[in-house]
Structure 1
Amino acid sequence: MDPLFSPPLHRQRHQFVIDFVKRNKPQKVVDLGCSECSLLKKLKFHREIELLAGVDINGAIVKKKMHGLAPLSADYLQPSYDQLRIELYQGSVTQKDVRLRGFDLVTSIELIEHLTLDDVERFSEVVFGYMTPAAVIVSTPNSEFNPLLPVLAGFRHSDHKFEWTRAEFQSWALKVCLEYGYEVEFTGVGQAPPGQQERVGFCSQIGVFHRLGGRVSRNMFNGDDAEDVFSYTQLYSINYPSLRDNNILRRVLASEVLYWAEKLKRRWMEEKTGERDDGYTLSQTEGGAEECVRASEQCMGMEEKQTGVCGGEMKHPVKQCGRGVAEVQEVEDEELFWTDRKAQLESCRLHRCVSVPLAVLWSCCPKVSALSGSLNNLRHLLMDEPNVKLNQDGSAVLLQEQEEEEDNNVLEDSGYGEASQCSHSAEQEGGWEKND
């Protein structure tokens, strides 16, 4: 049947739902009769949805396909502020379950024709009387279109209990609206050949129901409102990574801070020693690194002492110290730490670290400021982060001047640094992907 339509009919039905979601932006959506979860797999990319649920009576099919709803690597490497939870249940649409009440949108795509007429009445009571969603999309075959389908004898599927004409479908839908306080619009997908659309209608007819504001259902299940009924079996649930999770926010922020602190440290060491490390050259193609240094110069002052945002006096936005920051502040001439004798410089490296003020990082890296919101928040979020070492007053990040060979790339450990939007690539994988 699908080769008659382009795109295929099942894709047109799913696209109809997706277009509705784009226009109306529901936060809670449940697909009744989700089967292989193909519609849910498309809806999960629409991040205005915070809760996405599916129900099917055939739990084996759901279990076979449900892991396709798991977060992708990119969802862990670049978590957004959006929240998404996915829940899948095994159960009958003729039974009520309190976990599916109060949704913004319920979809029933090619489902009701698999029910007996008695079960259709129960379906109406459960969906419109008990679940009371803000909107419902119901699609079902239009039997008037069947004569146009080749090699079709009887119903379109062996499990169909009925296939309604347009008048029969509209009669059922209008009765639902009258009993449960909804209004309905009729449409469909699968256009008939030219000149026959009015005579036979759409191949799949669709009713879009909207709950009338303030109207109370007359046939609501009496006394059931106060009951917490759990008739479905939960098969799957997962929360997508989100920056609203404080642990995830800390980890992403720490990775971003370490990335840019390392950049600034390398640049400063190059200026001081006159040596360049090609592996860490701040080129224009990396975009933002040079601007970051210029911004830090303007913010903290390269040549003159001035009081920074963190409250301390600094000659340079990035400073090198011995065993502690206090030692740096006691030395009047910073250049005493540096000599022209390479051997002496090398002998002292294991005892040195580089101090990168948080004020510089916050002011020059938009991603850091966006994630933290303020300098105080940045300091607070990093305080308990084990991968970030701060100085005693928490105003700067401390980095080893020269790290051991096996530990010299903070980006490999971060799992996020190269994927962030602060002008570095998202091609690397790994990091902290969750095992399902």
Structure 2
Amino acid sequence: MTTTPSSPGAAPEGEPLGPEPVSDSPLAGGSQPEAPQQTRTESFLHQVMSSSWVLTLGAVVLAILLGAVLIVATDAEVQATASYFFARPSDFFAAAWRAASEAYIALFQGAIYDSNATSFVRAIRPITETLTIATPLILAGLSIGLGFRAGLFNIGGQGQVILGAIGATWLGFALHLPVGLHLLVALLGAAAGGAIWAGIAGVLKARTGAHEVIVTIMLNNIAGFFVLWLVYTKYFASKTPGVSKPIQSTAMLPKLLPDPFRLHLGFVLALAIAVGVWWLMERSSLGFKLRAVGSNARAARTAGISVAAMTVAAMAISGALSGLAGGTLVLGTEGKLSAAVVGSIGFDAITVALLGRSKPLGTVLAGLLFGALAAGGRLMQTRTGTPLDLVLVLQSFIVLFIAAPPLVRSIFRLPAPGSGKRPTRAKQATVPTEQAGAAA
């Protein structure tokens, strides 16, 4: 019987040719518990550092630092020590630190807590002023942010706030209703005034394609001149020129604290509306349609969503929120209407919405920040002589850095969103197999 000789080095039948290969794949038997945990940690830190919240915080920090530079540059004592900087540089740096720190300490004391106050009431009054000033800013910011998420640039917040203030004032002094009902009617009138004014831009865009930016800017001018004329008419004018008749006490928002505090129920209303806006945009079918149109109007139309109806609805809801901002202003603190009662709330709301990333929580926090800047700026000017215009400069710097994310990321060495993502488990499992195939 002839047998076939085995080749040199051949292994006996049924035994492997060599040692069994060890695979790093999680699908194989071997596993390395430490490496995946480190990867998950690094991924989490990367996501935090690349988030929009960190970017926003960085923009605020940069604005504060540049504001400090302006304070130092305009301080008289710092300018005097700069003349002999090379002889005694310590004097210059001490004066610069003193100027910047005193200004920001005064800003904090005027916005949050005044440690130099002679009584507890005076000490805590700054935080109540911050909340009071922030109330219309939050409502108007929610208005602009909702429009942004629906793909609309509602720049007409100022005019809508004015119309809301007009509606609340007229219903506030012309009607005689019981307590509670009178306030409700006045607030509804404020919301209706803003909704109608914004709805004009929405209908024009839906029917004719007119750009909402141009239309709302023109409506701002019309509203400004309209209220200037209205307060001198016999229907609104009082004995004081340029001021309307006083709103009845039954239509005023009740105060949350006794005098001398000005904080009223409007702040609680603003927080409740912020929650309502969140539910509307994130949980309701209408909010889904608004976001769909804002993301891609053509795709939304293909899916059966009426883009024209959503445009009108978005502008009307946005205007109603701005109208409530004007209503809480006159029904909460002013008690009457004048041509300048609204100030620049409608324009500041654009900055609040941008800083808050058009999200309700972010808008509330941004409104509180701007309210703190406005409340603290007065005490800062009184105690340190720093011009109140610095508050406007800080707001402008914040918007500048928010509009330039790559600049903020480069300064703080922040990663860009979407970079350095951890590969998925399926991709990790295929890497050793590909390597093994290449080796074979």
Band the TM-score falls in, shorter-chain normalisation: under 0.3
TM-score, normalised to structure 2, is 0.17
Larger RCO: Structure 1 or Structure 2 (Cα < 8 Å, ≥ 6 residues apart)?
2
Greater share of helix residues, 1 or 2?
Answer: 2
